[in-house]
C-alpha cells in the first residue's frame, strides 16, 4: 500500500513498520480529534486514512448520544483500541444527564480509557452536571475535549461566561476547546451566533482565547475541523503571533470524515471535497517554520495532555 506523508519517520514507513516503531516515534503525528464512523467509515478505513495522512495515533472520540448526527459508543472505541493498541488512544463519553454517568466514567478509567470527550450534548456549559463532569476529570487527572457552540441548538453554550471559573477552580484537568464558539473567541469581536458561527476577516486583538490560554496552562486548543482551519486562516498575521504565544497549548486535530486522505468517501475512490488532515498539515507547515514548534503541535503537546500523575 502506498503511503504518503510530508512528515518524517513513521509517516512514510507504513502501518506495520510504524507500529513496530512504537508510539514514541518522535516525528509522528497524533490527531487529537478523530471519530470512526463518519460517513459510515469502517474501523479499517479509519486506520487506512491515518496511514494515508501520516497519522501515527489518534484520540478516538465517542459521541454516545449522537446529538450532532453521529453515534459512536465508548465500547466500540475500546474494542477498536484492542484491535489497534498502538494507533488508537481511546476516549470515553457518556450522557451527563444520566444519574450513573460519573460512576460509568470511573469504570471506563479502569478499562483503560485515557480521557473524556467529545462532550457534545444540548446542555449549557454552566450546568451543574457539566461542572461535576469537569470536577471528576480533574480528580482523575484527565483531559476533556469540549465542543463549544452557542445558539439555540448549540452545545455547551455559555463558554465565555463559565470557562474561566472552571479553570480557576480545576487546575489539573486539561480542558481542550473545540468548535465554532471556541474559535470565534480568537477575536475580541464575536458576532451573535444567530448572525454567524464562522466569523471571517481580521481578528480584533484581545480575544478571550488569547487571555485564557496565556493565563491557564491547562487549557488547550484543538485545531480541528472547519472551525479551526477558518480561524487560523482568517487573519494570518494575527495567527503568527497566536502561534508564537500559545504553541505549547495547540493540538493538531482534524475531525476528518474522509476515507482516503484525499477527501473521498467510499470505495469508488473518487475524491470529493477536502481532507481536513491533509489541509491542516499543509497549512501548519506553511505557517510554522520552526521544526521544534511543529513537532510540539503535531505530537508532543498531545502526549503531555495524556500524562496523568494519579
Ligand atoms: Zn468531532
Ligand atoms: Zn481526510
**Number of the ligand closest to the Cα of 179:** 1
- Tell me, in angstroms, the distance from the centre of ligand 2 to residue 253's CA: 11
Q: Does domain 29-306 correspond to CATH entry 3.20.20.140?
A: yes
Dihedral sign of CA atoms 135, 302, 145, 250 in order:
positive
- Tell me, in angstroms, the distance from the centre of ligand 2 to residue 290's CA: 25
**Number of the ligand closest to the Cα of 45:** 2
- Tell me, in angstroms, the distance from the centre of ligand 2 to residue 256's CA: 5
- Tell me, in angstroms, the distance from the centre of ligand 2 to residue 192's CA: 31
Per-block mean pLDDT, blocks of 10 residues, the chain (310 long) = 33 38 57 92 94 96 91 96 97 96 97 97 97 98 98 96 98 98 97 94 97 98 96 96 97 93 73 86 94 96 88
Would you state the pLDDT for residue 270?
A: 59
Cα 40 → chain centroid: 20
Would you state the pLDDT for residue 261?
A: 87
Q: Can you give the residue ranges of every domain in the chain? A: 29-306
* CA dist 2 → 148, 274, 280 (Å): 37, 19, 21
Q: Is 43 exposed, middle or buried (0-12, 13-18, 19+ CB in 10 A)?
A: middle
Would you state the pLDDT for residue 39?
A: 82
In angstroms, rounded to a whole number, what is the distance separating the alpha carbons of residues 31 and 220? 14
| Degrees to nearest 5, angle at CA 99 with 95 and 102 | 70
Would you state the pLDDT for residue 308?
A: 76
Contact indicator for 127, 105 with CB cutoff of 8 Å: no
- Tell me, in angstroms, the distance from the centre of ligand 1 to residue 28's CA: 21
Contact indicator for 207, 187 with CB cutoff of 8 Å: yes
Amino acid at each position: 500500500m502506498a503511503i504518503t506523508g510530508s512528515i518524517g519517520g513513521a509517516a512514510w514507513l507504513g502501518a506495520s513498520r510504524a507500529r513496530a516503531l512504537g508510539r514514541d516515534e518522535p516525528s509522528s503525528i497524533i490527531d487529537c480529534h478523530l471519530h470512526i464512523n463518519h460517513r459510515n467509515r469502517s474501523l479499517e478505513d479509519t486506520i487506512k486514512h491515518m496511514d494515508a495522512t501520516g497519522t501515527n495515533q489518534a484520540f478516538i472520540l465517542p459521541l454516545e448520544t449522537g446529538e450532532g448526527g453521529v453515534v459512536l459508543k465508548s465500547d466500540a472505541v475500546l474494542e477498536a483500541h484492542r484491535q489497534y493498541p498502538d494507533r488508537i488512544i481511546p476516549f470515553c463519553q457518556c450522557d451527563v444527564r444520566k444519574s450513573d454517568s460519573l460512576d460509568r466514567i470511573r469504570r471506563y478509567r479502569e478499562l483503560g480509557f485515557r480521557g473524556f470527550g467529545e462532550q457534545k450534548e444540548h446542555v449549557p456549559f454552566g450546568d451543574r452536571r457539566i461542572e461535576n463532569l469537569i470536577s471528576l476529570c480533574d480528580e482523575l487527572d484527565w483531559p476533556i475535549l469540549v465542543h463549544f457552540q452557542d445558539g439555540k441548538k448549540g452545545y455547551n453554550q455559555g463558554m465565555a461566561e463559565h470557562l474561566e471559573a472552571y479553570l480557576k477552580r480545576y487546575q489539573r484537568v486539561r480542558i481542550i476547546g473545540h468548535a465554532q464558539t471556541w474559535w470565534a473567541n480568537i477575536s475580541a469581536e464575536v458576532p451573535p451566533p444567530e448572525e454567524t458561527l464562522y466569523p471571517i476577516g481580521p481578528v480584533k486583538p484581545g480575544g478571550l482565547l488569547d487571555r485564557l490560554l496565556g493565563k491557564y496552562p491547562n487549557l488547550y486548543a484543538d485545531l480541528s475541523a472547519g472551525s479551526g482551519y477558518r480561524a487560523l486562516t482568517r487573519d494570518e498575521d494575527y495567527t503568527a503571533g497566536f502561534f508564537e504565544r500559545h504553541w505549547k497549548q495547540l493540538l493538531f486535530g482534524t475531525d476528518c470524515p474522509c476515507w482516503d486522505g484525499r477527501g473521498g468517501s467510499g470505495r469508488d475512490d473518487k475524491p470529493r471535497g477536502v481532507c481536513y488532515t491533509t489541509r491542516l498539515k499543509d497549512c501548519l507547515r506553511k505557517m510554522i517554520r520552526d521544526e521544534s514548534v511543529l513537532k510540539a503541535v503535531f505530537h508532543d503537546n498531545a502526549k503531555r495532555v495524556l500524562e496523568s500523575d494519579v
